[in-house]
Amino acid sequence: MARAKFWLLTGLLMQALYVFEPTRGEEGDTAGEEGEEECRLLGKFDLRGYVNAEDAMHVIGGMFPMHFRTILEEDPTSTPPNSPKCEGFNFRGYRWVKAMIHAINVINKDEDLLPGIKLGYQIYDTCYTMSKTVENSLAFLTGQNETTPVFRCSTGAPLAAVVGAGGSTLSIASSRILGLYYFPQVGYASSSLLLTDKYQFPTYLRTIPSDAVQSKGMADLVHHFGWRWIGTIAADDDYGKYGVKAFKEKVENTYTCIAFSETIPKIYSREKLKKVVEAIKNSTATVIVVYSSDIDFHPLLEEMMVSNISSKTWIASEAWVTSALIARPEYFPLLGGAIGFGVRKGDIPGLKEFLLDVRPGEDPEDDMAIEFWQSAFNCTWPNANISYNTDNRKNVTGHENRVNFASDVLCTGKENLAELNNTYLDVSELRITYNVYKAVYAVAYGLEQLRTCEPGHGPFSSGPDCTKIDEFEPWQLMYYMKNRMTFSVLGEDVHIDDKGDVYTSYDILNWQKGENGEVAFVPVGTFNMTSETDMEFHIQNDSIFWNNPAGARPRSTCNLNCQPGYRKGILQGKPSCCYDCIRCAEGQISNITDARECTGCEEDYWSNNERNKCVLKEVEYLAYEDALGITLIVLSVFGALVVLSVTGVYIKFRNTALVKANDRELSFLIQFSLVGTLMTSILFIGKPEDWSCMSRQVTLALGFSVCLSCVLGKTVTLCLTQLAMNSKVAEKARMLVKPICQKIIVLNSVLTQVGIVCAYLILNPPRMYKNTQFSITKIIYECNEGSILYLCVMFGFDVFLAILSFLTAFVARKLPNNFNEAKFVTFGMLVFFIVWISFVPAYLSTRGKFKVAVEIFAILASSFGLLGCIFVPKCYIILLKPLRNTEEIVGGRAATNDKSAPPTSASCTSEVNNTTVSTVLED
């Protein structure tokens, strides 16, 4: 194998470019008889790299960032323009160069691929700048380092294709030039979406997936972990801008927003970097996506270390996720736990041994190897009159940390390269390096297809349908690489589609600290996109290391999540991910985090205090176990017992004059009805049911009807007795006050009420009713009384009986006898009216169980009033004044001197024709 030659063109510009420029005289005439034209030099390029084209049939060009940057001129207009020089040796880029050379060597030894054909290489350093990339592209076209791209003046092997360049912006710049002449170009690290456009870049292909794939994977990663508030940082180039643009298009939705979007300046500016750092510090976003190369990201990383930024989760693009420039232990406190997408890696046989085969000084023109040796071992090569920058970084002030090797320890050339812990020798994560290897094979397989074209079956329509391997045009090779590019490398099948793109899987890598303290790239998942619609995303959540104090999965939101019971409210002028948390209204709930709307509860349900669950509404009715219910039951039972006690007294003393007076049966019937009305109040207590709603009002109405009709029968008798006093015929009075008349009155009254009640129950009876109108937080179980008309008629009839009883008793209140019962009935009716008149407004102004309690109080009060006014005076005489319980005294035929006893009406006495007539109404 021929030794790789090294071009070192250091600044001397040779007169080699001819530009036709007529020389004119003072009057504008063309100088000379034949208008001689003067040829003058414009300039040459300072190109550094490797060239080996001896005995080669075809040359493959290569462009790699073997340095980080070019040296800026202080005042470029004060001196003749020179091709810029480079500084900051890039070990990673140098390994890519070696990988390309190694791939060409392997292909040249392969008897199955391009047998008998030797490939050469022509590799230039782009210095990771556009200007050097353009110089390289022009040199590839001309075959020399002169600016004459219209002619190829090289006498060596023709250029078949170009591999490179090492960044999207650089590839875009070079492809615009190479595409003019349809030179095939295969990228290994340029993933910008823009390069997919075949109208602008018709000859560009690549072995790395487009950023459309990576951006989709990043978006799926963000959605998988539920991150809602994302920051983005992009390098100020096509790779960063188009990468972030694609990510935004795929990640933004109703629930995910971009918190900030910052740009890393291409030319170092600490002020601009500080603004980016401030945006990171001031944002509540804890997850940040960085689309940048390692070279561009490094100055920002240094500035963030100075600002002591922590507790951020970084999502890395493939350009820096495994970069040794970034993956350093000192950066782990900041970038630890980062999750990135690494392109598929491969193990390249023999590469490690080839990387170790570096012999500086054997080839005097190979100053790149000398520079590598000096940078790797921090020494100065003897007689190397070159000053390089060993520190590949800029310090925090933006100035270059330049070291002159002349003052360092001299290199011996015998340093042990194998013991060097260097990015150059790290073959554990061969990802971009593997893509370089595949790019070379893509060119080789394109040449192989061109070589094996069978005449008569070729694709070309103008001229021969096949072309010869030793005299083809670039566009002919481009046909095979664009339309039929499927090949296998190291067991992997590679297919480049008609847009020049490939679909290969990504490894999802997590930055963790290894046992030796170095950064380890731990695979935690994969993302495989085989087409625009077919994709697979897998991730192992438990294997991820999170760089925060709690070690838990980070949250990234504009504000705190709205907990269940709250809904998101729109903030005017803010993204949809920024919101207020508004508590759900009563009767509505939200049972998920970050609910957009609250949902209403069903009819019988209501929201709990936390507004996160619908619970059954509180049910209200006068229950038996309530204190109020127990009290009312006790009073009802007590009243019934009192009435029964009175009944017992009446039964025991049933043959006495006072009990027999004014119809003993009616007195027992009144007592029975009072027991019924008092016990009816118990029906109002407890959960209302249809049967209880129908029975309570009906029983109450019938009870009062029996009671009041009996009272009416008594008072009618007393009233007729009062009227008989003024009658001239006493016998007529005796006929009117017979007991049968009282019973007829009672029977007719009760039958009338029974008829009303039956019509009420048949036509429109009461029903149980769930009242939710009065209170939205509870259900009031109450009775819907059905027809209000029938209810009014039913109780109106009782009122009518009460009014008649009152009027008749009032007329008979002044009967001249010892015991005037009419007077006490009048008081009883007054109590009855007062109670029920007071009941009406109280009943209408209350709700729920208190409404029922008011009605029960009215029942009890009116019942106790009738009991007290009608029977208590009689019981007082019967039990405490038995001497007055005689027919003479009750009949008014004997006077009493007991003034302490209340006058109890039990007789009817009248004077007719100035004669005292005592009429005692007995059973």
Interval 411-449: pLDDT, tens: 888 888 988 888 899 998 899 999 999 999 999 999 999
> Can you tell me the mean pLDDT for 171-186?
93
Q: 């039972």: which residue's tokens?
A: 637
- pLDDT tops 70 at residue 818: no
Amino acid at 358: V
Question: What mean pLDDT comes out for the span 858-880?
Answer: 87
Whether 709 shows a pLDDT value over 50: the answer reads: yes
Rounded mean pLDDT of the chain? 82
Give me the mean pLDDT over the 883-894 stretch.
Answer: 68
Is residue 9 within 8 Å of 45, Cβ to Cβ? yes
Q: What is the pLDDT of residue 726?
A: 56
Percent of the chain topping pLDDT 90 = 37
Q: What are the Cα distances from residue 97, in Å, to 62, 258, 343, 434?
A: 8, 38, 19, 12
Q: Is the pLDDT of residue 129 over 80?
A: yes
Report pLDDT for 382. 84
Mean pLDDT in residue range 374-392: 69
Confidence category of residue 13, pLDDT binned at 50, 70, 90? very low
Position 235 scores a pLDDT of 94
Q: Of the ranges 72-86, 191-205, 771-785, 842-856, which one carries the lowest mean pLDDT score?
A: 72-86
Higher-confidence residue: 713 or 8?
Answer: 713
Do you know the residue count of the chain?
Answer: 923
pLDDT at residue 605 above 50? yes
Closest-CA residue to 422 (of 351, 510, 359, 356):
356
Q: Higher pLDDT residue, 742 or 544?
A: 544
How would you classify the pairing of strands 287-291 and 313-316?
parallel
Residue 623 predicted with pLDDT over 90? no
The pLDDT tens digits for 27-38 are: 444 444 444 555
Between 259 and 559, whose confidence is greater?
A: 259
pLDDT at 81 over 80: no
Among the residue ranges 280-289, 548-557, 680-689, 819-828, the one predicted with the least confidence is 819-828
Q: What is the DSSP string of 142-203?
A: HSSSBS-TT-----SPPEEEEE--SSHHHHHHHHHHHGGGT--EEESS---GGGG-TTT-TT
For residue 450, the surrounding DSSP H or E stretch is helix 432-451
Q: What is the mean pLDDT of residues 499-503?
A: 92
Contacts of 29 (CB under 8 A, 6+ apart): none
For the domain made up of 211-317+323-346+504-543, give the CATH fold. Answer: Rossmann fold (3.40.50)
pLDDT of residue 822: 75
The pLDDT, as a whole number, for residue 386 is 52
Q: Identical fold at 49-71+84-208+429-501 and 211-317+323-346+504-543?
A: yes
pLDDT tens digits along 100-115? 999 999 999 999 999 9
Find the mean pLDDT for residues 276-301: 94
Q: What is the mean pLDDT of residues 740-764?
A: 86
Fold of 49-71+84-208+429-501: Rossmann fold (3.40.50)
In our burial notation (b when 16+ CB lie closer than 10 A, e otherwise), range 594-632 reads: bbeebeebeeebbbeeebbebeebeebbbbeeeeebeeb
| Identity at 451, one-letter amino acid code | R
Highest-pLDDT range among 131-145, 199-213, 902-916: 199-213
Reduced to 3 states (helix: H, G, I; strand: E, B; else coil), residue 342 is: strand
* CATH fold of the domain at 627-765+775-886: Rhopdopsin 7-helix transmembrane proteins (1.20.1070)
Q: Answer whether residue 821 shows pLDDT above 70.
A: yes
753, pLDDT greater than 70: yes
Does the pLDDT at position 39 exceed 70?
no
Give the containing element (helix H, strand E) for 677. Answer: helix 664-683
Out of 167-176, 216-225, 901-910, pick the least confident.
Answer: 901-910
Q: Where are the domains of the chain?
A: 49-71+84-208+429-501, 211-317+323-346+504-543, 566-616, 627-765+775-886
Quick check: 249 pLDDT over 90?
A: yes
Q: 3-state SS string over 880-913?
A: HCHHHCCHHHHHCCCCCCCCCCCCCCCCEEEEEC
Q: What is the pLDDT of residue 560?
A: 81
Residue 700's pLDDT is: 87
Q: Residues 539-545: what's their mean pLDDT?
A: 92
pLDDT for residue 239? 92
Distance from the Cα of residue 356 to its chain's centroid: 54
> What percent of the chain is modeled with pLDDT above 70?
83
pLDDT at 815: 63
